[in-house]
Structure 1
Amino acid sequence: MALLGTLVAATAVVVAAPTGSAAAVPTRIMALGDSITGSPGCWRATLWNRLQSTGYTNIDMVGTLPAQGCGVAHDGDNEGHGGFLATNVANQNQLVGWLSATLPDVVLMHFGTNDVWSNLPNTQILTAFSKLVDQMRASNPAMRILVAKIIPMNPSSCTECAARVVSFNNAIPSWAAGKTTAQSPITVVDQWTGFNTATDTYDGVHPNAAGDQKMSDRWYPALTAALSGVTPSNPPSPSASASPSASPSPSAPPSVSPSPSRPPSPSPTGGAGKSCSVTYVIIGQWPGGFQGELRVANNGTVPISGWSVRFTFPNGQVISQSWNGQYTQTGSTVTALNVSWNGLLSPGAGTATGFLASYQGTNGTPVPVCTAL
């Protein structure tokens, strides 16, 4: 199996260089997908730092979701929505709003894992892919689109998922060949070959640090080819940058629907100039369960070394799994503390921590309070 299936000539992806003395406008890159891309999706941090170190500095990662840590500085904006199905995103026209808000020039799409887990037909998933591509091109007729053959999946709860992934990936190249155009080329990036769920994931689905490095290494040549009109400020280096330490992301049930978030709550200060805010977000919800997220930001005037979020569930919800935070629950009251790598926040910086929880009947939204430490 070829490492990279490029469906168009390199000349089709050249970006016109700016003329005159005006500063070049950064190329805007959207990473689109599910929890493999965004919860926390540390392959994006590895890829970003490799691009920076090899001279591709005039780029801007865009998305309506913030970075979720990963332990290294990086431009972490993304559209990696944990638990989302590509078919639902297409059917509900969710991508249209994300595109309008971010205006990308390039899209990296690793999508379909939850659709495959849900045993949806390949034709249905690829029909959704076609609609998403049409929406990308409506936003930008010259959109450069990189579509992944998704990484292997072998969760203990889905013995047939591994074979389904192979079947789905085998259908992608012919779909892409029929959908690519000279103005808006589609490049297929093989993320499957050489990826081992036993050594490159921590749960059979989500990449660990080794998996993040492999994903970054596969994206890099395809993305730099798409950025062929962006001249590196330094000669490219063939070696990859070190991988950040990945943090667990949830293996959420595949079929979810997004819910609105509660605006950031006011927070008590933890000292002179120290302050933080927190936004409670329901990422996805299904009968009896949901995925939640706490988005913490330093809204003070000095750096903070840590944070604590406290809230009380109004309907007896119970947390069963968490990541990127230390959670304790007593009755309906929950306290979430930072972990070692996401506590230090400069003014204006933020991070996120998430969880899976169950509910019965009503899933009311609590009012969280953030304390800066």
Structure 2
Amino acid sequence: MDRRLSRAARRVCAGLGLTLALVAGALAPASADAGAAPADTARTEGDAVRIMPLGDSITGSPGCWRALLWADLVEAGHTDADFVGTRPGDGCGFEYDGDNEGHGGFLVTDVAARGLLVDWLARTEPDVVLMHFGTNDVWSGVPTETVLDAYGVLVGQMRAQNPGMRILVAQIIPMDSDRSCATCGQGVEDLNAAIPAWAEAQDTAESPVLVVDQWTGFDADADTYDGVHPSGSGDRRIADRWLESLLPLLA
């Protein structure tokens, strides 16, 4: 754990005490996709900004970039940031707001086809979505255009729940073809190359769609432990990229 993280953890445990009814379910370990946490949906004026991390195992199992990002937001003074989702967080070495919508093994195309996001949104009512989704689709050989169509379905569902939804979509982290599938490396590149134009077409003033580059500079050898899932250094890189894009929205 780096010194920056230690400072954030001490502030969390000591100074913030924490205003963390947020943390309630965060320390319970979560298996692949069992034990969905009950969601609180009561909203009042002046509520915290509700942020949904959305994706597959890179987001949810354990997805410790979320813990780092939450600690960074607290350190930056955003103690009102409330991570939301129907799933609790895994242990990442310190207390944090672990709620998320990261479902190990899920394909974004399947989530769109089955309408699963509609219920997750209704139960958690996010204001901001951080979406890193599509790794399993690439591994399964799903064409880029099909993945983008699924992204569009999810954006429509987000806006049906909240017309002012702010949507951050990641160009996903690379995969090592030697440790995943032979076509995975190129598949990720193809998807990421297509995301900016897709996002521009989806973007509106009321509900912006912002691209977050999680791909550039991410080393699948050094920053993953298996060619797919982020290691400690990968979690740090992912958290930093989300933070850079989130801070202007929360200012």
The answer for the alignment partner of 1:210 in structure 2 is 233
Identity rate of aligned residues, in percent? 59
- Between the aligned partners of 2:57 and 2:222, the Cα distance in structure 1 is 19
Letter in 2 for 1:82: G
SS at match of 2:83: strand
- Between the aligned partners of 1:209 and 1:126, the Cα distance in structure 2 is 29
Alignment of 1:33-52 (within 5 A): 33-52=55-74
- Between the aligned partners of 2:195 and 2:224, the Cα distance in structure 1 is 23
Extract unaligned runs of 5+ from structure 1: 1-21, 229-373
Q: Deviations over 1:315-345 (max 9, x none)?
A: xxxxxxxxxxxxxxxxxxxxxxxxxxxxxxx
Give the conservation status (yes or no) of the 8 Å contact 2:164–2:207.
Answer: yes
The answer for the alignment partner of 2:89 in structure 1 is 67
The answer for the alignment partner of 2:140 in structure 1 is 118
The answer for the alignment partner of 1:154 in structure 2 is 176
Equivalenced residue count is 207
The answer for the alignment partner of 2:221 in structure 1 is 198
The answer for the alignment partner of 1:313 in structure 2 is none
Task: Give the CA deviation at 1:157.
Answer: 4.0
Q: Deviations over 1:5-58 (max 9, x none)?
A: xxxxxxxxxxxxxxxxx9831000000000000000000000000100110111
After superposing on structure 2, the runs of 4+ consecutive aligned residues of structure 1 that deviate more than 3 Å are none
Letter in 2 for 1:213: R
SS at match of 1:197: coil
Q: Let me know the Cα RMSD of the aligned residues.
A: 1.1
Letter in 1 for 2:107: L
Counterpart selection for 1:93 from 110, 115, 118: 115
The yes-or-no answer on 1:105 pairing with 2:118 is no
The answer for the alignment partner of 2:160 in structure 1 is 138
Letter in 1 for 2:59: T
Q: Deviations over 1:227-283 (max 9, x none)?
A: 12xxxxxxxxxxxxxxxxxxxxxxxxxxxxxxxxxxxxxxxxxxxxxxxxxxxxxxx
Q: Deviations over 1:291-326 (max 9, x none)?
A: xxxxxxxxxxxxxxxxxxxxxxxxxxxxxxxxxxxx
| TM-score computed with the length of structure 1 as normaliser | 0.55
Greater radius of gyration (CA):
1
- Between the aligned partners of 2:69 and 2:81, the Cα distance in structure 1 is 12
The yes-or-no answer on 1:183 pairing with 2:206 is yes
Letter in 2 for 1:161: C
Give the conservation status (yes or no) of the 8 Å contact 2:52–2:84.
Answer: yes
- Between the aligned partners of 2:100 and 2:180, the Cα distance in structure 1 is 28
Q: Which has the larger helix fraction?
A: 2
| 1:23–1:55 CA distance, 2 compared to 1 (3 A) | farther
Q: Deviations over 1:101-158 (max 9, x none)?
A: 0000000000000001111111100000000000000000000000000000115241
- Between the aligned partners of 1:30 and 1:222, the Cα distance in structure 2 is 14
Letter in 1 for 2:100: N
Counterpart selection for 1:79 from 79, 101, 112: 101
| 1:23–1:177 CA distance, 2 compared to 1 (3 A) | closer
Extract unaligned runs of 5+ from structure 2: 1-43
Letter in 1 for 2:181: C
| TM-score computed with the length of structure 2 as normaliser | 0.81
Give the conservation status (yes or no) of the 8 Å contact 2:180–2:227.
Answer: no
Task: Give the CA deviation at 1:182.
Answer: 0.4
Q: Deviations over 1:166-225 (max 9, x none)?
A: 011000000000011000000000000000011000000000100000000100010111
Q: Which has the larger strand fraction?
A: 1
